Amino acid sequence: MAAPERFFDADQERLLRSPPIIDDYEKQRPVTLEEAAKKLQSLVYNCDIMMLTAMRKTYRSAHDLTVDEAAAICLYTMKGYKQDRNISIQLNRALRSQAQSELIPWFSYLKLFVTALNKLPPMKGTIWRCVRGDITAYYQNYCIWSGFSSCTETKSVLEEFIDEHSTYTIFKIECVNGKAIRNYSDDPRKDEVLLMPGTRLQVRKKEDLNNGLKVVHLQEEMPQNLKLTRPLGSLSSMSTTYPTDQVFNSTTIQSQDGTKSAQSNSKITLGLSPVFVTTHLSTRNRIGFLGSGDKDKK
């Protein structure tokens, strides 16, 4: 079974040093998901079919989401006919590019998606994210993630896709403003929690479990407002760091501004208390990649 890439794409993050600002989407008039999807036809393979499927699966919710808003969340979680052209992958590429021209087609969808997410109550607790390879060197004092960050409440969701012969960086995140979207997901078993673009995370601890697993403990800092906040078309006020030369096989992608970032061959609300691992394993097993001493949800 192929891994859900949105849970494993942290190596694609631009590690911002100042909060991003995206507010042009707010100026869009409200439209239906069908209208928003029409603008994405050239970017997302079979977007119209996926949109109709999402609409059939959703209904008005206890959180007062409209059918179109709930379906916008469902659509984000759907596995596309072509994996590299899923909604989640394409949207996050646009957000991380910081290019207005790349974001414009997404404004109508973002209006629905963010409106829906902001209606959900904040989720506090431990969530998990993963990436292939060791990227711990790029996480020092704090970071700001620029895309929608797909995490899970249940670490076994990630463990299922971890190859015991490879190296991974596990992010154990104490979140305060996560958005639990299980009830709107195309696959509720993933127990998915989203962190919004602009989430600021403090690095509390880093560990090497000596079994191919590196762990970065992160604490989400309380956001000052619940918007997407990224300046469009201007990078003058930002400083970014790119994960490069990682210790795993990677291909190098040249961005529009000439900066390189690493991407695994195998292949996004705003806005972590210290957590300690009590057991170090030399090999991984189905008990849990952090060991049987870990009391978190499995």
On whether the CB atoms of residues 37 and 51 are closer than 8 A, the answer is: yes
Residue 173 lies in a domain: yes
Residue 283 lies in a domain: no
CA pair distance 197, 28, nearest whole angstrom: 19
User: What is the mean predicted confidence (pLDDT) over 169-173?
Assistant: 97
For the chain, how many structural domains are there in total? 1
Residues across the chain: 298
pTM for this prediction: 0.76
List the CATH number of the domain containing 58.
3.90.176.10
Closest listed residue to residue 90, CA positions, set 132, 40, 129: 40
CA pair distance 121, 262, nearest whole angstrom: 35
Residue 292 lies in a domain: no
Residue 243 lies in a domain: no
User: What is the mean predicted confidence (pLDDT) over 113-134?
Assistant: 95
Q: How many CB atoms lie within 10 A of CB 42?
A: 9
Percent of the chain with pLDDT over 90: 52
Residue 275 lies in a domain: no
Domain of 30? 5-236+250-264
Residue 105 lies in a domain: yes
Residue 180 lies in a domain: yes
Residue 298 lies in a domain: no
| DSSP secondary structure letter of residue 155 | T
Give pLDDT tens digits for 216-267. 999 999 754 545 544 333 333 333 444 433 333 333 233 333 333 433 332 2
